[in-house]
Chains A and B, each alone.
With several copies, the nearest count.
Chain A
Amino acid sequence: MPRTTTIVLGVIGADVHAVGNKILEMTFSDAGFKVVNLGVMVSQEEFINAAVETDAAAILVSSLYGHGEMDCRGLREKCRESGIGKILLYAGGNLVVGKRTFSQVEAMYREMGFDRVYPPGVMPDVAIADLRKDLGL
């Protein structure tokens, strides 16, 4: 594993919420990760291509606008097909339409193959700590 770990960051689907994405880029960079930020409106293919190209250790998917459930479905399968089936997948933001109990949402995304799922408004430090743990850094 290279000294600086690469992560791929982006907001999936037709979602344009850019603010959190910009902050995640700044904070993960600050924490020493190499961040490949795809910005907003990123398709599943773009995420995977970027991860493959940069040999990334994790893909951090944001979805704020509510369509996450539809946009994220099948991402893990596509990762497998592209030979990065074991890559860490994190998801965060406002992952479903409406206010729902987070445990439901978490279960749904885990079912979809995400390794970690975050509730609305989680602070970046939490994810940074998790990532270090999951990668054994």
Chain B
Amino acid sequence: MALENRKWEQTLLEESRRQVLAGWPTGREVDLEDAMNYHRSLGQERISYHKLRRGQQEGVTFLQPRAGVALLDEHINLLNSLEHQGAADFLPTTIDSYTRLNRYQEADRGIEESKAAGRSMLNGLPAVNYGVKNCRRIVAATGVPVQIRHGTPDARLLAEITLAAGFTDFEGGGISYNIPYAKNISLQQSLSDWQYVDRLCGLYAEGGIIINREMFGPLTGTLVPPFISHAVGIIEALLAAEQGVRSIAVGYGQGGNLIQDTAALRTLRRLARHYLDRFGYQDVFVSTVFHQWMGGFPQDEARAFGVIAWGAATAALAGVDKVIVKTPHEALGVPTAEANVAGLLCTRQVMRMLAEQNVQATQRLADEEQVIEREVGEVIAAVLDLGEGDLAAGVVRSFAAGVLDVPFAPSRCAKGAMMPVRDLRGAIRLLHPGNLPLSRETLDWHRLKIEERGREERREPDFRMVIDDIYAISKGMLVGKPR
């Protein structure tokens, strides 16, 4: 069956579901009717969609950590600390890397080794292995919405099990959970598998259960220009909406320059709404998510707190619905509960201190916004063009052609022909546009900005400058200085 952006037929879905649920023994536990009843029993404050809507109405920004360990009871304890000591507004259940690659056997081994070692040997919770009933214990033990966060190209079974367990929020998309998270998986495959996930959410929606679907904005977390992640997020949103998803969050990873980040968050919200409306999905609720610095962190905890706090300040000054919070252990390893709580408390402190302030409207801000809007427009138009009107087909062909591209991606699907670098003020620009379908006007803007930096640093911008930028934050700067 050729991939196209069209709502799946009921028969196709049913057939696929039978196959998927047979993929691992716990698949048998999934019972949609029972699942929906369980969802109906949840109060609104434990349902992402409702909480996000309320937040938007009241102008509140929510905080959410990342967290997941191999053993169920430990995971529940961890979430309890984050909820009660960290006052997290949303909780996560981060899934381990074996599960993300559907290697459930290895995940089983990870559970066993963790039990034996008395500490988590997995970098997340293997939810599929635990199954519906066990996972429901997580939902039951928490007072706020819990989201599944992962990085799984084929998340069909994971979605089946966790939605059935009562989780109300599911991260990922056919692009954002493939390109940064896989090597050999085709976009045809991942887009199709995510249509399944989205269609499954659509099924819940038809039963009155609105699952929030969040697109993973940061991609590789490393010098991603805003328009790239915006284009990807918006495309994923459109694909999800087509399958009946009714609540969509689009994300963005902090770049570091306050003006560019503000422009990014403001345009992300506007553009997502604009495109959803334009393609007929006026009834889809949209929210925005900001990720604190996603690249390499400094190892020293005091310095890491500095990075976290600047992320918090940016979020507060720019305005966003939810912030995904880092921890002072980031550079070193999966954080302890205490480190995770510390990240939350530091972030909350800064965000509440700055709640009454925002980035002032200036020409520079307006320019940045305008550039991003133009860039996203240029890219999405080209994608639709290549797809001859079909967005899904367009995505596949666009990545093949480098018309869509993501820097530093492990996936073979990404050409990696474009190369980003920072400008003089730390905004992320294009050093090489690769095959990105940008207008002369747009390319000139990038070129001028980078020439300016080259002059200031008296060096020709090249890959060394890019490497300097990649190391910069962990070495205590934003713009990588010549060594």
Q: Determine direct contact between A and B, CB below 8 Å.
A: yes
Instruction: List chain A positions with a Cβ less than 8 A from chain B.
Output: 13-19, 22-23, 26-27, 39-41, 65-67, 69-70, 94, 96-100, 120-121
Tell whether A120 pairs with B336 under 8 Å between CB atoms, given A16-B410, A18-B408. no
Counted as pairs of residues, one from A and one from B, with CB atoms less than 8 Å apart, the total is 92
Q: A70-B106, A120-B332 are in contact. List 13 more A-B contacts (CB 8 A).
A: A14-B98, A14-B101, A16-B180, A41-B182, A66-B333, A67-B97, A67-B123, A70-B113, A94-B332, A97-B122, A98-B119, A98-B333, A121-B296
Complexed CA–CA distance, A67 and B299 (Å): 20
Complexed CA–CA distance, A94 and B180 (Å): 18
Verify B463–A26 contact, CB threshold 8 A. Answer: yes
Q: Name which of A39, A96, A99 has the most chain B CB atoms within 10 A of its CB.
A: A99
Verify A99–B409 contact, CB threshold 8 A. Answer: no
How far, in Å, is A69 (CB) from chain B's closest CB? 7
Does B120 count as interface, using CB distance less than 8 angstroms? yes
B420-469 with Cβ < 8 A to chain A: 463, 467
How far, in Å, is A1 (CB) from chain B's closest CB? 29
Complexed CA–CA distance, A12 and B399 (Å): 26
Complexed CA–CA distance, A44 and B299 (Å): 29
Verify A97–B410 contact, CB threshold 8 A. Answer: no
Does B121 count as interface, using CB distance less than 8 angstroms? yes
**How many chain B residues have a CB neighbour from A under 8 Å?**
41
Complexed CA–CA distance, A13 and B98 (Å): 9
Verify A19–B222 contact, CB threshold 8 A. Answer: yes
Q: Which residue of B lies closest to A42 (CB)?
A: B183
Tell whether A96 pairs with B333 under 8 Å between CB atoms, given A14-B101, A66-B123, A67-B98. yes
Contacts of B336 in A (CB 8 A): 98-99
Verify B220–A94 contact, CB threshold 8 A. Answer: no
- The 8 A CB mask of B256-300 against A (1 = contact, 0 = none) is 000000000000000000000000000000000000000110010
Contacts of B474 in A (CB 8 A): 121
Q: Which residue of B lies closest to A98 (CB)?
A: B333
How far, in Å, is A104 (CB) from chain B's closest CB? 12
Contacts of B96 in A (CB 8 A): 67
Tell whether A70 pairs with B109 under 8 Å between CB atoms, given A18-B408, A39-B410, A40-B183. yes
Verify A69–B410 contact, CB threshold 8 A. Answer: no
Verify B332–A40 contact, CB threshold 8 A. Answer: no
In the complex, 20 of the A-B residue pairs with CB atoms within 8 angstroms, ordered by the A residue number, are A15-B97, A16-B180, A16-B182, A17-B410, A19-B220, A19-B295, A19-B470, A23-B467, A23-B470, A39-B183, A40-B410, A41-B183, A41-B184, A66-B333, A66-B334, A67-B96, A97-B119, A98-B333, A100-B333, A120-B299
How far, in Å, is A137 (CB) from chain B's closest CB? 23
Verify A99–B335 contact, CB threshold 8 A. Answer: yes
Complexed CA–CA distance, A97 and B474 (Å): 20
How far, in Å, is B343 (CB) from chain A's closest CB? 13
Does B346 count as interface, using CB distance less than 8 angstroms? no
